[in-house]
Amino acid sequence: DQQVKQNSPSLSVQEGRISILNCDYTNSMFDYFLWYKKYPAEGPTFLISISSIKDKNEDGRFTVFLNKSAKHLSLHIVPSQPGDSAVYFCAARRNNRLAFGKGNQVVVIP
Amino acid sequence: DVKVTQSSRYLVKRTGEKVFLECVQDMDHENMFWYRQDPGLGLRLIYFSYDVKMKEKGDIPEGYSVSREKKERFSLILESASTNQTSMYLCASTKNRVNTGELFFGEGSRLTVL
């Protein structure tokens, strides 16, 4: 039972444009949400997070938006760079355990 | 910087073999986790541990066991490997039980079971 869902498994975007990744969740008890980035042959690395009591968190080119009523969060990358080409995983925390989505492949075209 | 080291990047084993995957972290983290990553399924939690000699089942523990004899080391054991355990295995750690969920991952161990 997938509690964290990432649809549209792949995204291609031109360098300099915005990348938007979406994530939906089903469990209203999640209290913290995170995005991880993964390059091939490497482990995922933490990118950005947001508490359930907030609706936006920004860190440089990365912004995460949370819409609790819709159980939806999104990651915006502006401007996109070729080095952003990776798989992005959405994760949600409950009871100190993380549930991950399936991941989104992002390809940034130079 | 936190370093999580997985002993083997690539392994090839035969069905029925016993497989050990080792993970060591160097930042005195209390929590350690084992995930597997499969295409189209994302990361799924196998087992985790909040302390030495302590372990808890994750979402898919069947066919696996773990060992945490020392704080820095968390081992994943496949008692009798099967082909459906062919996967990328990822070890991760966090500082303590009250944390933000920010996991530090190792580089992964790609296991192929023939």
Question: For A55-106, how does the pLDDT look when each residue is reduced to its tens digit (9 = 90+)?
Answer: 999 999 999 999 999 999 999 999 999 999 999 999 999 887 889 999 999 9
The domain in which residue B48 lies consists of: 4-95
Task: Name the domain count of chain B.
Answer: 1
Task: Please indicate whether, in this complex, the C-beta atoms of B103 and A44 are within 8 angstroms of each other.
Answer: yes
| CATH code, domain carrying B89 | 2.60.40.10
Task: Please indicate whether, in this complex, the C-beta atoms of B102 and A41 are within 8 angstroms of each other.
Answer: no
Is B102 part of any domain?
A: no
* CA distance linking residue B112 with residue B114, whole number of Å: 6
Give me A99's structure tokens: 């549930």
Is B104 part of any domain?
A: no
Of the ranges A6-10, A41-45, B13-17, B37-41, which is most confident?
B13-17
The total of other beta-carbon atoms located within 10 Å of residue B95's CB is 15
- How many angstroms away from the CA of A102 is the closest CA of chain B? 4
Q: Which chain A residue lies closest to B98 (C-alpha atoms)? A: A96
Domain ranges of chain A: 4-109
B32 close to B93: Cβ distance less than 8 angstroms: yes
Q: Which residues of A78-110 are buried (b: 16+ CB within 10 A; e: fewer)?
A: eebeeebbbbbbbbbbbebebbbbbbbebebee
What local confidence, expressed as pLDDT, does residue B97 receive? 63
Whether B98 has a pLDDT exceeding 60, the answer reads no
DSSP state of B83: G
Taking contacts as CB-CB distances below 8 angstroms, the residues of chain A near B40 are: 9, 102
Any chain A CB within 8 A of the CB of B63? Answer: no
- Residue found by looking up tokens 């992002």 in the block: A106
Helix (H, G, I), strand (E, B) or coil at A11: strand
- How many angstroms away from the CA of B42 is the closest CA of chain A? 4
- How many angstroms away from the CA of A70 is the closest CA of chain B? 22
CATH for A4-109 (3.40.50.300, 2.60.40.10, 2.40.50.140, 3.10.20.30): 2.60.40.10
| Mean pLDDT of the residues in chain A | 93
pLDDT bin (cut points 50, 70, 90) of residue B100 is: low
